[in-house]
Amino acid sequence: LASDNSSVACDDESHEYHDNDVCKISLDNLGQDCGKYPYGYSNQSFSPCLFLKLNRIYQFKPEPYDYQSEMFQSLGHWINNSFVKENIQREPRKVYISCHGVNEETEDKILGKFRFFPSDAGISFRYFPYHSLKQIPRSPVVALQLLPDFPKNQEIVMDCYAFFKNVVHDRKSRAGIFRLHIKVLMQ
């Protein structure tokens, strides 16, 4: 990864916006496999890591949910939002990522067969807003690690949703959602 001379070390416990400086991205919270090369691709259990990031939108500030008064958007009837809701209640100043099968059948195949790093699948508000093109050599990420029992030799389609107050989820236009097509080929 490129050397990062344009950013400063920030308090890991602070999730406030950084309007006048840029927080250094750390890979320390991405776990033993996802935080360093070969990113889960050659360990004995073969648990590859996929890295999820948000597009850079300059001067954009995600807004925190007010847990007591906000209504969460309804996704699919098969999706349990309790993971996201608990994280938002604990720390509202993060963008949370939540991934699910595109339908109930797919969700049943993958439930419990992947995990996130950091474990809350959150990107701190301290990395926002972006100020310029030269700001950060790398973007903050959430790692999605496929566990050894993730389905093999078949295409799995997942939708990943970003959660913060001012996001709009629209499955038709893909707003606030990104789609993953994953196929783990094993012989």
Which helix (DSSP H) or strand (DSSP E) does residue 32 occupy?
Answer: helix 31-34
Q: Are 27 and 143 in contact (CB under 8 A)?
A: no
pLDDT at 76: 67
Report angle CA 136, 1, 14 to the nearest 5 degrees: 45
Q: Are 28 and 35 in contact (CB under 8 A)?
A: yes
Q: What is the pLDDT of residues 67-77, one digit of tens each?
A: 666 666 666 66
Alpha carbons 121 and 141: distance in angstroms, whole number = 9
Which helix (DSSP H) or strand (DSSP E) does residue 122 occupy?
Answer: strand 122-124
Question: Is pLDDT at 1 greater than 60 in this prediction?
Answer: no
Which helix (DSSP H) or strand (DSSP E) does residue 160 occupy?
Answer: strand 155-163
Residue 132 burial (C-beta neighbours within 10 Å; 0-12, 13-18, 19+): exposed
Beta bridge partners of 120: none
Which helix (DSSP H) or strand (DSSP E) does residue 110 occupy?
Answer: helix 104-110
Percentage of residues in the chain with pLDDT exceeding 70?
A: 85
Q: Are 103 and 78 in contact (CB under 8 A)?
A: yes
State pTM to two decimals. Answer: 0.87
| Interval 76-101 mean pLDDT | 85
The DSSP string of 48-108 is -EEEE-PPP-BT--PPPP-TTTPPPPP--TT---HHHHHHHHH--SEEEEEEEESSHHHHH
The total number of residues shown for the chain amounts to 187
Q: What is the pLDDT of residues 22-40, one digit of tens each?
A: 787 878 889 888 998 899 8
